[in-house]
């Protein structure tokens, strides 16, 4: 809720402290909003100064540069600079965005990010048009919801809290009834060996024993989501290509093909990058590039077919 308040009330002309007071949140919340949305505060401060200088000149065209400097608290050279800048210029010198360059404080949404929170928020803004997802089929411990409201429906194969229902109960949801579903299956495949005999649920939850099991689990989730979504509803699936022994399982290609076979339309793809390397197996020779990224697929349910 705080994030939506900030998005609607954030003013690039104000300081962090002033925005915190305006939005009724902490300064750290404002700084996180700025960081998550890639806002260029330095550029915005320059634009705010220019707006102030131009507004004062328009109101008092006969005022001298020295008087303007005293009035605004800037130097005379600063006043000169902003009076001569191209008022239509809006390009920034960084990959960040300026809130002056976008309408209604909605920032330029990118397909690539180091922030999972940013990607989830962007998907909700662009497609679900709600504060959170309606249903999560793989809730686990709720990592997706550190900064998002909880979904109304939470399921997991191995529930870890009382408010999360067993995944099999998701099959009882009326068909063609949901607007948005999200899914994040494990991405580790142990392959053949003694790991297949792991008996603890927490261990079993975190990986697939075989490549076939990984493919089957992904297909079952795609099929379940297609049944439960209403036409036009959105299915968001996080995934990444994984390694099984010396081979790569191209799960992302599999997900796209199988989803579209059922009748999903792929409408977007977001890439989540990490600056730290993923897991490697001790003693194994590296045969493929290590994966430093995962994907968020955004599918829209199209025409229903028999599943």
Q: Domain residues of the chain, as ranges?
A: 2-102, 112-301
d(CA 202, CA 217): 17
CATH entry, 2-102, from 1.10.10, 3.90.550, 1.10.3470, 2.40.160 = 1.10.10
Give the closest residue to 63 by CA, choosing from 48, 76, 51, 50.
76
User: Can you give the pLDDT at residue 198?
Assistant: 36
pTM over 0.75: no
H or E element at residue 1: none
Mean pLDDT, all residues of the chain: 80
CATH of 112-301, one of 3.10.180.10, 3.40.50.150, 3.40.50.1980, 3.30.420.40: 3.40.50.150
Alpha carbon dihedral 14, 17, 22, 26, in 10-degree steps, equals: 140
Radius of gyration, alpha carbons of the chain: 25
pLDDT at 285: 64
Q: Identify which has the larger pLDDT, 72 or 289.
A: 72
Helix, strand, or coil (residue 130):
coil
Question: 20 Cβ partners below 8 Å, 6+ apart?
Answer: 26, 27, 29, 30
**Residue 169: other Cβ atoms inside 10 A:** 11
133, 124 contact by CB (below 8 A): yes
Percent share of the chain, pLDDT over 90: 33
pLDDT at 291: 73
165-174, 248-257, 272-281, 283-292: which has the highest mean pLDDT?
A: 165-174
Under the banding of pLDDT at 50, 70 and 90, the label for residue 253 is very high
* b/e per residue 121-138 (b: at least 16 CB within 10 A): bbbbbebbeeebbbbbbb
Q: pLDDT tens across 194-250, in order?
A: 444 333 333 444 667 777 888 888 999 999 999 999 999 999 999 987 766 667 778
């Amino acid at each position: 809720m705080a994030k939506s308040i900030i998005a609607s009330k954030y003013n690039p002309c104000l300081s962090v402290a002033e925005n915190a007071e305006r939005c009724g949140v902490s300064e750290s919340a404002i700084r996180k909003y700025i960081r998550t949305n890639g806002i260029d505060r330095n550029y915005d401060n320059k634009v705010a100064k220019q707006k102030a200088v131009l507004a004062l000149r328009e109101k008092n065209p006969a005022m001298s540069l020295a008087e303007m400097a005293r009035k605004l608290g800037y130097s005379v050279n600063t006043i000169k600079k902003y009076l001569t800048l191209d008022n239509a210029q809006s390009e920034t010198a960084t990959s960040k965005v300026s809130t002056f360059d976008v309408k209604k404080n909605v920032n330029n949404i990118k397909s690539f990010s180091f922030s999972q929170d940013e990607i989830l928020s962007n998907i909700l803004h662009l497609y679900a048009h709600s504060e959170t997802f309606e249903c999560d089929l793989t809730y686990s411990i709720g990592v997706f919801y550190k900064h998002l409201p909880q979904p109304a429906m939470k399921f997991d194969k191995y529930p870890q809290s009382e408010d999360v229902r067993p995944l099999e109960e998701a099959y009882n949801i009326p068909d063609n009834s949901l607007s948005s579903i999200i899914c994040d299956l494990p991405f580790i495949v142990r392959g053949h060996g003694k790991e297949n005999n792991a008996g603890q649920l927490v261990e079993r939850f975190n990986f697939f024993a075989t490549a076939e099991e990984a493919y089957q689990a992904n297909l079952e989730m795609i099929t379940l989501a297609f049944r439960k979504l209403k036409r036009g509803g959105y299915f968001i699936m996080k995934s990444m290509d994984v390694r099984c022994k010396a081979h790569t399982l191209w799960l992302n290609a599999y997900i796209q093909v199988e989803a579209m076979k059922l009748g999903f339309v792929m409408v977007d793809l977001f890439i989540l990058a990490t600056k730290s390397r993923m897991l490697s197996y001790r003693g194994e020779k590296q045969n493929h590039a290590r994966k430093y990224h995962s994907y968020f697929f955004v599918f829209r349910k199209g025409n229903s077919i028999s599943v």
